[in-house]
Amino acid sequence: MASFNPTDPDFLENPYPLYAELRSDAPIFFYEPWDKWVLTRHEDISALLRDRRLGRVMENVKVRTNPEHAAFDDVQDGSLLELEPPDHTRIRTAVQDVFTPRHVRALEGKIAALCDRLAVSLAAKPERRGDLLTEFAEPIPVTVIAELLGVSVAERHRLVPWSGAIIGMFEPERTEEMEAAAVRAAREFAAYVRKLIQAKRRAPQDDLISRMVGLHDADPERLSEAEIVANAILFLDAGHEAVVNVVGNGMVALLSQPEVWRALKAHPEHLETAVEEALRFDTPLQFFERVVREDLSYKGFSWPKGTRLCLFYASGNRDEAVFRDPDTFDPTRSPNPHLSFGLGLHYCIGAPLARLELKHAFNALITHLPDLRLEVDVVYEPKNVFRYPKRVPVTF
């Protein structure tokens, strides 16, 4: 069997060759240091994401294991990501109107203008170089989600550091420092959202938090204040990390293959399929965990209730049994049944919004920065769950 060592720097820099070996030699195996099973083939990941015998949690009432993590646990307990029906259904129904294709399309003009403005600003730099992540990609989802939530412009600078610290808690190889940073960020972010709830209650506006506060005040059993806090944080964390890092990873892939970048510039009608390919080719969320909620037999494996599975989306997205030439970035690839937004009950509620942001981000770069080039080789953050570059230094 191929040796799986998730702390190996070579693996963290480029995990895809090992994923190919695992799909061939050990598509399902137990990794003892994590006490979890690892699955790497598209077929298995797709089937298990749809299997209702698996979920994100065993029960909707959690068992706390570390009192020092209480502030972090508090903002996870009511999150859509960490709930199963009936609570998941109740909360998703309460907020899903904001993320319907119709509602998202109403934001398109603002999103396109934002992306164009950021690209023009970057292109105007006299030194003709910059960081595509911090100067272009990062402000897009923060601005969009902050407007959806009703966060003032003056407060938005606090959101990205909070988000970055919170997602560190999901890394299986996290340090004590990462845990402490995640707990601190969760405490500060939750306190901020609670203040925002009070402000929206006094002066409601046309934003998601005002709508959630209205639902709570009309019927506290439909949506609690703790659930408002948890899901406001979830929407920022999930929406920010996905969009920023698909832009980063996708542009690294495109600019590393100048002929592909030239082809996309020549055929902008392929932007929507190029977005799907960016989501597939170098998936920012490398894997997601599921827990077996009742005893399960699958392909000769017997998993008792409580067994934890790591479903490696990034490996499934390069599965040669599903994708022709999977290690090639093809902006015209269709169909493209990638797993990057998940499947089944926990399919990403923000997928329509993310797709729209990504389409206009790539379009703005093609329009205003057609001569983009990578300045140096890109170095990736040494993380397992989330894969993204530290910087994307470009010249133009």
Does residue 61 have a pLDDT over 60? Answer: no
**What tokens were used for 283?**
């998936």
Sketch out the chain's domains with CATH numbers: 9-395 (1.10.630.10)
Lowest mean pLDDT among 95-104, 148-157, 298-307, 311-320: 95-104
**Predicted model pTM:** 0.92
Confidence of residue 388 (pLDDT cuts 50, 70, 90): very high
High-pLDDT (> 70) share of the chain, % = 97
Q: How confident is the model over 198-212, as pLDDT tens digits?
A: 999 999 998 889 999
Q: How confident is the model over 34-59, as pLDDT tens digits?
A: 999 999 999 999 999 999 999 988 76
User: Average of pLDDT values for 110-133?
Assistant: 97
C-alpha atoms less than 13 angstroms from C-alpha of 249 in its C-beta half-sphere:
27
Confidence of residue 100 (pLDDT cuts 50, 70, 90): confident
User: Average of pLDDT values for 171-196?
Assistant: 94
Confidence of residue 239 (pLDDT cuts 50, 70, 90): confident
- Nearest C-alpha neighbor of 286 from the set 45, 9, 99: 45
Instruction: Give the pLDDT confidence score for residue 181 in this predicted structure.
Output: 96
Does residue 103 have a pLDDT over 80? Answer: no
Instruction: Give the pLDDT confidence score for residue 62 in this predicted structure.
Output: 59
d(CA 312, CA 283): 10
196-200 long-range contacts, CB within 8 A, separation 24+: 196/149, 196/150, 196/151, 196/232, 197/225, 197/228, 197/229, 200/150
Does residue 286 have a pLDDT over 80? Answer: yes
Instruction: Give the pLDDT confidence score for residue 231 in this predicted structure.
Output: 94
Q: If you search the block for the tokens 């592909």, which residue do you land on?
A: 260
Does residue 252 have a pLDDT over 80? Answer: yes
Does residue 63 have a pLDDT over 60? Answer: no
Does residue 64 have a pLDDT over 80? Answer: no
Total residue length of the chain: 396
